[in-house]
Amino acid sequence: MKSITFNREELYNQLWEKPMTKIAKDYNISLYQLTKVCDELEIPRPESGYWSKLLNGYKIKQKPLTEFKTNEYKLVLYNEPKVDLKEQLPKSFKTITFKKNLTGLHPLVRKTYKYLKEDRYGDNYGRLKPFGKGYLGILVSNNLMKRAILFYDGLIKELERQGFQVAGEGSHKVTYTSVKIGEEKIYLRLEEAGSYNRTKAKSESSWNEYDYEYYTTGKLRLQISKFDSNYTAKTISDTDDLKLEYQIEKIFNTILLTAEEAKKWRIKREQQEKRYEQLRIIRERQQREQQLENQKRADLEQASTSFTTSQYIYAYIQEVETQLLANTLSVEQFQKFVKWKKWALKHADRLNPVKQKIESFLQTDTESATDPNKLKLL
């Protein structure tokens, strides 16, 4: 973990020599981090339009550096993967100027704020949250509500300025702020951190061994996830040195990285589903082929059984005829035998599958002979 120690007087001189964007680039930090340092050291900065007026020949009075309790500030840097915001964002990244009052709020922010002000239901920590679709993912105490609402207002307006779609999603249990970036959707939740003190239960009749005192810490944290749950969320929190308002570049960086992760996960899922579908088709084809094979085997076994039965009948008819003709028969008796024999042979022929099988082969052979494109068996 690296850090940069800023000297108040040196930074003051730099701020009036060149734009903050160039100074931030020199230190390899974000504009929000540099703004945070200036705020902590109470260094007066040039107002918007200062450098353009200076280039046009206007003389502008430099704000003086007043006395302050400390002359140094240490900025702690956290090593995290980054994306090029210039390349990834549709529009040039701008510093968010967060509002100081609750007027002119984004419609979604205003709707959520109205709900929180009217519904006083809170959790064990006293944090308020909305229920149902159409509200932001938020969980804060009344003390931190104004700051949280104004933070969401600035963040959502910049997200929409970049062309991203923002919506309130969720259920009666939990709400999320969804951000659609291209085909991907990620989810945000702004929460006030909570903690508790645990002490031995004072009452002997208490069911619990300990008593708990819940309280909020006064620090905000923004959870960013590729799923509509917090299980895989990346969390950006207020620190002792840096509030969320000064970590916007980090927030956008994390949002874009999370959207990229969501894209990879979606592509992987689609590939898996495609493979599963291919395997399903192969498996069903194999099952059909196996069923067909089983049916053919069953038909063959049935045919062989029918063939054996027919052969016994043929032999039986022949034996009856042989022994009958050894006798002297009347015309009536002979005609009666002929009638029976005709019936018995017809039944034997019906059972005999050989004739039908031969006919099926001959039929196929005949079709092949009449079609020059088909192979003829010689």
Q: Within this chain, do residues 195 and 171 fall inside the same structural domain, yes or no?
A: yes
- Among 251, 268, 285, give the residue marking a domain's end: 268
Q: Within this chain, do residues 221 and 90 fall inside the same structural domain, yes or no?
A: yes
pLDDT of residue 201: 65
Q: Within this chain, do residues 95 and 244 fall inside the same structural domain, yes or no?
A: yes
Flag whether pLDDT at 271 surpasses 90: yes
Q: Within this chain, do residues 17 and 111 fall inside the same structural domain, yes or no?
A: no
Average the pLDDT over 366-376 and give the result: 52
Q: How many of the other CB atoms lie within 10 Å of CB of 306?
A: 17
Residue 186 pLDDT level (bands cut at 50, 70, 90): very high
Residue 364 pLDDT level (bands cut at 50, 70, 90): low
Q: Within this chain, do residues 45 and 99 fall inside the same structural domain, yes or no?
A: no
Q: Within this chain, do residues 68 and 87 fall inside the same structural domain, yes or no?
A: no
Q: What is the 3-state secondary structure (H, E, C) of 144-206?
A: HHHHHHHHHHHHHHHHHHCCCEEEEEECCCCEEEEEEECCEEEEEEEEEEEEEEEEECCCCCC
Q: Within this chain, do residues 122 and 206 fall inside the same structural domain, yes or no?
A: yes
pTM for the whole structure? 0.62
* Poorest-pLDDT segment among 8-22, 71-85, 173-187: 71-85
The answer to whether residue 148 sits within a structural domain is: yes
Residue 375 pLDDT level (bands cut at 50, 70, 90): very low
Q: Which residue has the tokens 């068996």?
A: 377
pLDDT of residue 378: 34
pLDDT > 90: percent of the chain: 54
Q: Within this chain, do residues 97 and 225 fall inside the same structural domain, yes or no?
A: yes
Tell which wins on pLDDT, 26 or 207. Answer: 26
- Among 79, 95, 128, give the residue marking a domain's end: 79
Residue 206 pLDDT level (bands cut at 50, 70, 90): low
Average the pLDDT over 32-55 and give the result: 86
* Poorest-pLDDT segment among 52-66, 224-238, 349-363: 224-238
Each residue's pLDDT tens digit, 279-296? 999 999 999 999 999 999
Flag whether pLDDT at 299 surpasses 60: yes
The answer to whether residue 15 sits within a structural domain is: yes
**What domain range includes position 199?**
81-268
pLDDT of residue 176: 92
Residue 231 pLDDT level (bands cut at 50, 70, 90): low
Each residue's pLDDT tens digit, 5-19? 999 999 999 999 999
What angle is formed at CA 319 by the lines to CA 314 and CA 324, rounded to 5 degrees?
125
The answer to whether residue 159 sits within a structural domain is: yes
pLDDT of residue 377: 41
- Among 217, 250, 268, give the residue marking a domain's end: 268
**325: part of which helix (H) or strand (E)?**
helix 248-325
Specify whether the CB–CB gap between 7 and 68 falls below 8 A: no
Please give the single-letter amino acid code of residue 81: P
Q: Domain tally for the chain?
A: 2
SS3 375: coil
